[in-house]
Amino acid sequence: MKTVRRAEIAFWSIFWKLPDLTLFIELDGVKFAFSSRRPHDVLVASGLYEPDLVERAMSVLRGGDVFLDVGAHIGAYTLRAAKRVGESGKVYAVEPDPMNARLLRSA
């Protein structure tokens, strides 16, 4: 356990010295943008955060549906919903945090 903790401390000491870059990851055919300074966003985008809720929300959406995501963060639900409802559907995302909104728009 001590070795894992040391590795974690070493990672974070290097991590904070990295530049703030917008990185992209494609998961399940959906492109997400996230900040290199916030790697936890990858967990959100990957569906590892709230996997049951993501699966349930997506399972009820069909082509042509309308989806509203308030507090959209980087788009874990928004971007998947857009793919799910297709061209004939609508997705509205509300995100008050400027950094998250910027990342969501760039995805």
Q: What are 33-75's pLDDT values in tens digits?
A: 988 778 778 788 777 888 899 899 999 999 999 999 999 999 9
CA 78, 24, 26, 49 torsion-angle sign: negative
Q: Is pLDDT of 87 > 80?
A: yes
Q: Report, as an integer, the average pLDDT of 1-24.
A: 72
Q: How many helices and strands in the chain, by DSSP H and E?
A: 5, 4
14 vs 2, residue with greater confidence: 14
Which whole-number Å values give the CA distances from 104 to 51, 59, 76, 95, 107, in the listed order? 20, 22, 9, 9, 5
Q: How far apart, in whole angstroms, are the C-alpha atoms of residue 78 and residue 83?
A: 9
pLDDT for 66 equals 98
Tell me the residue type at 57: A
* Whole-number percent of the chain with pLDDT over 70: 89
